[in-house]
């Protein structure tokens, strides 16, 4: 699994700003299908409505029909890549940014980290002692949980080695669930008497996780006017060094209100079969299996 990051709070903030813009309090968002990422996100949103206010000192939110105002908001909050080109007559934009900067209790010492302790390439790392607690899991010492206290009394950092193979191909919500599980178990674990301090790699991660699955999520305002997510995008940055860590995330969505086609299109986004038939004849004229190597604009059909 390649490096990945996901931040749900900017999503929650943007959705609440969109609801305020539409004059709806605690809107009921409806997924296109049950047992979907949309359904899971709605559950996440409802569970965390009260927590948005708790962390709001790290967030800024906006909802507007003015493209220039929205783009300026993103630039001023260090996300110039999150720009909208235009908005339709029945559309508005909602977004949120999160910026959490924390410093370790004491500047760490530089160390070299070898992957899995093997000989080979080394990576720049951090050695911390102050503010570090190591907890033993029920599995083995290779899967300890490390808690790092920071200079911000409200923010701490948890580290745990990933299981090779078991943590592959996680979507953003599953990644968030994994973090919630670790948060829930850490305070029940015994402290390790084997380790003192921690060494871990520095991090520079810049990614745009997929949030297109939000498109089609819908609600209805108090006047019965429908609204649904037409576009969605997220950008996440994480930097970790000897001094501390900075987590930055931005989320934007375009919401369509009023008439139009309420249901989103079915999207074929993987290899597919193309079958051409003559009506009334069982034998196909042509059958093709189309993988990404053939996904090209053919130009003219002449």
Structural domain contains residue 130? yes
pLDDT on residue 1: 61
What per-residue string of b and e applies to 211-237 under the rule 16 or more CB within 10 Å gives b?
A: bebbbbbbbbeeeeeebbbbbbbbbbb
Q: Distance between the two ends of the chain, CA-based, in angstroms?
A: 44
On whether both 154 and 188 belong to a single domain, the answer is yes
Segments forming the whole domain that contains residue 234: 9-101+204-257
Residue labelled with tokens 């919500």: 173
CATH of the domain at 165: 2.30.39
pLDDT on residue 103: 93
Assessment of whether the complete model's pTM goes beyond 0.75:
yes
Rounded CA separation 95/182 (Å): 28
Q: How many domains is the chain built from?
A: 2
Query: What's the pLDDT tens digit per position in 140-191?
Result: 545 788 888 999 999 999 998 887 665 566 789 999 988 988 898 888 888 8
Q: Which residues of the chain have pLDDT under 70?
A: 1, 116-118, 138-142, 164-169, 259-267, 302
Rounded CA separation 147/217 (Å): 37
SS3 at position 68: helix
242 secondary structure, DSSP code:
S
SS3 at position 72: helix
Structural domain contains residue 178? yes
Structural domain contains residue 88? yes
Compute how many other C-beta atoms are within 10 angstroms of the C-beta atom of residue 252.
27
pLDDT on residue 35: 78
On whether both 16 and 78 belong to a single domain, the answer is yes
pLDDT on residue 156: 92
pLDDT on residue 194: 82
pLDDT on residue 270: 78
Structural domain contains residue 288? no
- Among the residues of the chain, which ranges form H helices? 9-22, 37-54, 67-76, 172-186
Cα 284 from chain centroid? 43
pLDDT on residue 263: 56
Structural domain contains residue 272? no
Query: What's the pLDDT tens digit per position in 218-234?
Result: 999 888 889 999 999 99
pLDDT on residue 265: 62
């Amino acid at each position: 699994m390649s490096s990945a990051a996901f931040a749900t709070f900017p999503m929650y903030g943007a959705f609440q700003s969109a609801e305020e813009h539409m004059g709806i309090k605690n809107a009921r968002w409806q997924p296109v299908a049950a047992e979907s990422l949309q359904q899971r996100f709605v559950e996440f949103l409802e569970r965390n409505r009260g927590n948005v206010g708790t962390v709001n000192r790290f967030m800024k939110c906006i909802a507007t029909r003015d493209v220039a105002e929205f783009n300026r908001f993103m630039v001023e909050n260090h996300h110039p890549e999150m720009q909208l080109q235009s908005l339709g007559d029945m559309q508005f934009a909602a977004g949120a940014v999160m910026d959490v900067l924390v410093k370790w209790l004491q500047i760490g010492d530089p160390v070299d980290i070898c992957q899995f302790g093997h000989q080979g390439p080394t990576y720049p790392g951090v050695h911390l002692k102050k503010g570090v607690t190591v907890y033993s899991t029920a599995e083995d010492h290779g899967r300890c949980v490390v808690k790092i206290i920071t200079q911000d009394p409200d923010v701490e950092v948890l580290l745990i080695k990933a299981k090779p193979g078991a943590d592959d191909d996680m979507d953003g919500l599953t990644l968030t669930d994994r973090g919630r599980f670790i948060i829930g178990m850490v305070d029940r674990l015994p402290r390790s008497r084997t380790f003192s301090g921690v060494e871990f790699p520095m991090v520079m991660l810049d990614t745009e996780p997929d949030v297109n699955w939000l498109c089609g999520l819908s609600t209805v305002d108090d006047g019965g006017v429908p609204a649904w997510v037409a576009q969605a995008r997220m950008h996440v940055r994480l930097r970790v060094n000897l001094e501390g860590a900075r987590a930055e995330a931005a989320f934007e969505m375009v919401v369509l209100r009023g008439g139009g086609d309420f249901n989103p299109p079915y999207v074929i986004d993987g290899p597919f079969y193309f079958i051409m038939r003559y009506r009334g004849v069982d034998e196909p004229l042509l059958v093709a299996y189309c993988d990404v190597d053939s996904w090209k604009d053919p130009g003219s059909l002449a």
